[in-house]
Structure 1
Amino acid sequence: MSVRDALYMPQLKWKSGECKALGTARGAMSGRLLPAFRIPPSGGFDPDEQRVLSPLEHIRSFGARLSANWGKRPVFVDASLVDDDKHAAACRRHPLTELIERAWLEGAFAAPIVSLQSSPSYVEAVKRYTSANRDWPICLRLSLSDMERLRSFGELDAVVNTFGASPHNTVLLFDGGALHISDPEPFVHLVAERFAVLAPRNTWARVFWGSTSFPEKPNLKAGVDGRFPRSDWELYRSIVSNGSEFPSVPMFSDYALEFPSYYKPVKVPPVAHLRYSTETDYWIFKGQSTKKPNGFGAIFPVARRLVSSEYFFGEEYSLGNKFIDSLLLEGAKTGNASTWRWASTDHHISLILKQLSVLHEVEGETAREPAIPLKQLQLI
């Protein structure tokens, strides 16, 4: 398996709709997509099972769901939010180990995400993975403060070695988190200086820059459509245009159509809404609550506003767009909050992959299957 062809790493929250979008988005099977999931704590309503899962069920369902939607293609998994006594007691071992092995047992492939803030028990779980499969990748996530604090490549190399890995099989994710930068040029020059120190050319398996400008609290009233600039994309375009300042141009990462927080289970009826990306903006088309008497039919006027707007890409653009367009038909099925998230994420991933292929002048597909059969993987 190679991660060196990936252009896009969406950092997702393991929502059912997001996961299903991996299997349907246009270009998702091209080998250019390398998803990363941060597993939320248990306690949320599972739309597939139609109930709240126990901590053990929550962790163990990972492998089957991943395999069904993504097959043998690689993903990275961050178990930091389930790195606690409750989930460890349910699994009787570290949750990260359980997640990775559940994926492998289902014929899927998941590799760990680790950070400088990972707990000692989390690091030990990563080391068990690397000791069993030394040539397989890990992902190291660095925050802006990490980037500023690390003084040399040698210091970062030593950190990676403590995980039982080496730079050549480590994907480096520089994660800026939530950023709203109207003039990216000065910031890009600062980032380039840190890249020159920490990411010399031809050292890491792959390097990504991640951030998002998706709003934390849109504060929209029902029936109102909100427009929010995709300044995260403009920032990345500035990185590419100033690529000569970087040892090598990093690839792109974002949080899809989410703000990077709010992982607690939601226990109120969802509001009917559609999130939608254009080349330059994030849009939120907001409707009424789905509580009685509205029900899921509250999505119909929302879809009508989106489809009739100048921003809709058309039903042929992706399966998610086709579903949104179908909501205008007589007798259409409403779907539910998970379906609406799938449609929005399907469109977003399709759009980002297209934008990246144009920006980097990349066309065509890479190998669809891992270079080494998964049966050769050793369980931890």
Structure 2
Amino acid sequence: MLYVPIMKFKQGEKDALYQLPTELKEKVVPLFEITPDVIQKEKSLGISQIWEYPYFFDISPEYYNELSDEEYLGLLAKCQGHLVPVIKLTDSLEKVDAIIGKAQNGVAIRIYLEEILDDNFQNLFSDLTHKLNINETDLIIDAQFVEPVQINIKSTLMKETLNRINKIPEFRTVIVASNSFPQTLSNYEKHTLVSIPRSESKFFEKVKKSFEEKGIKIVYSDYGVNHWTYFEYVPGMQVTFNIRYTYNDDFIIYRGDSNKRGGFSFAKVQEACHTLVNSSCFLGQNYSWADQEIYEKAIGAVAKPGNATTWRALGTNHHIVFILNHLSNQS
């Protein structure tokens, strides 16, 4: 396990994973956050149709507490393949028992940074871990949103984890997640490439040093080219074309027009792709499936602009390949 991308289980994200070459799929263990719309529409989650490798299963944070234990366990029963269910600190011990009973590949505990700093954390965590085989449990520590100016503060707070969880070295893996992609792109200039600082890798490197001093190896995790919160699409909402492209320590953004203003017309999409392909940020048509698609649209070899789902797939696919290459070079 080299990388844990936290992904909403939408078609764009599924396409991004499906298009990865096998040698990269084997290095990725995605954490699927199932969202309310997927729960309402999907009779079967169909995970095995796009992913034949290990994965974590969770529910989008905004919806988690609204889901009854029975509903959650019903969703869990729909999952196929090498499933690792995620347990939360707020789960009832009865629910934990039921999850453990269904888990054939171990479980994961996902805790948020703000929970670790709570006065009652150690008691709750102790009660939870007493029910688990720690050696078959993954620990996911999620800092959620980390702005560039917060990297030092939040990495310092993350060190407190080492003081509050005595048995960290005993976990099967320790995964550290963060996110810095903005919640909205509406404040950024249109029809040009804009660089947004990407904090995740810098935050991870700072945290990594603290853990390594204690002999603990951690695994990198992020939310890709999405904000950590769930964005609910409302019928009739105007979708705006945008490109999300990861490069070095930045997200490169191209914000186009809304669908109503022809933002997804081929002429406008081709112009956007041409701008990216001819910039110093573009990593080449052979870098990933997404880069090949962008290049072909830029030169007019493929006259299909795609829709919002297409462009989420392309942004996500490129991001995963970029992060895997970055992590491989660091190891």
TM-score by length of 1: 0.77
Aligned residue for 1:149, secondary structure, equals: coil
1:166-245 equivalence runs, <5 A: 166-182=133-149, 184-185=151-152, 187-198=154-165, 200=167, 202-218=169-185, 219-245=187-213
Q: Distance in 2 between matches of 1:234 and 1:264?
A: 30
Equivalent residues of 2:192, 2:255 under 8 A apart? yes
The equivalent of 2:116 in structure 1 is 147
The equivalent of 1:276 in structure 2 is 245
Q: Which has the higher contact order (CA 8 A, sep 6+)?
A: 1
The equivalent of 2:225 in structure 1 is 257
Decide which of 280, 284, 297 is 1:314's aligned counterpart. 284
Equivalent residues of 1:175, 1:210 under 8 A apart? yes
Tell me how far 1:335 sits from its aligned partner. 1.6
The equivalent of 2:86 in structure 1 is 113
Q: Distance in 2 between matches of 1:199 and 1:254?
A: 25
The equivalent of 1:373 in structure 2 is none
Equivalent residues of 2:29, 2:53 under 8 A apart? no
Decide which of 33, 42, 62 is 2:28's aligned counterpart. 33
Correspondence 1:324 to 2:294: yes
The equivalent of 1:48 in structure 2 is none
Instruction: Show CA shifts across 1:12-32 (max 9, x none).
Output: 112211122112235664532
Decide which of 280, 291, 297 is 2:260's aligned counterpart. 291
Tell me how far 1:39 sits from its aligned partner. 1.3
Tell me how far 1:151 sits from its aligned partner. 7.2
Correspondence 1:23 to 2:38: no
Aligned AA for 1:100? Answer: L
Equivalent residues of 1:37, 1:75 under 8 A apart? yes
Gaps of at least 5 residues in structure 2 are none
CA pair 342-198 structure 1, distance change in 2 beyond 3 A: same
The equivalent of 1:50 in structure 2 is none
Tell me how far 1:201 sits from its aligned partner. 5.1
Correspondence 1:98 to 2:79: no
Equivalent residues of 1:168, 1:204 under 8 A apart? yes
**RMSD of aligned alpha carbons:** 2.8
Tell me how far 1:279 sits from its aligned partner. 1.8
Decide which of 307, 310, 317 is 1:346's aligned counterpart. 317
Correspondence 1:131 to 2:101: yes
Q: Distance in 2 between matches of 1:293 and 1:190?
A: 46
Aligned residue for 1:285, secondary structure, equals: strand
CA pair 217-82 structure 1, distance change in 2 beyond 3 A: closer
Percent identity over paired residues: 23
- Report the count of equivalent residues: 327
Instruction: Show CA shifts across 1:65-119 (max 9, x none).
Output: x21211243332226555577x76xxxx833223222222xxx33332222234x
Equivalent residues of 1:195, 1:247 under 8 A apart? no
Instruction: Show CA shifts across 1:29-74 (max 9, x none).
Output: 45321111211112xxxxxxxxxx782x33x241x2x212112433
CA pair 358-150 structure 1, distance change in 2 beyond 3 A: farther
Tell me how far 1:186 sits from its aligned partner. 5.8
Q: Which 10-residue stretch deviates more, 344-353 or 95-104?
A: 95-104
Equivalent residues of 1:153, 1:199 under 8 A apart? no
Tell me how far 1:292 sits from its aligned partner. 5.5
CA pair 237-302 structure 1, distance change in 2 beyond 3 A: same
TM-score by length of 2: 0.87
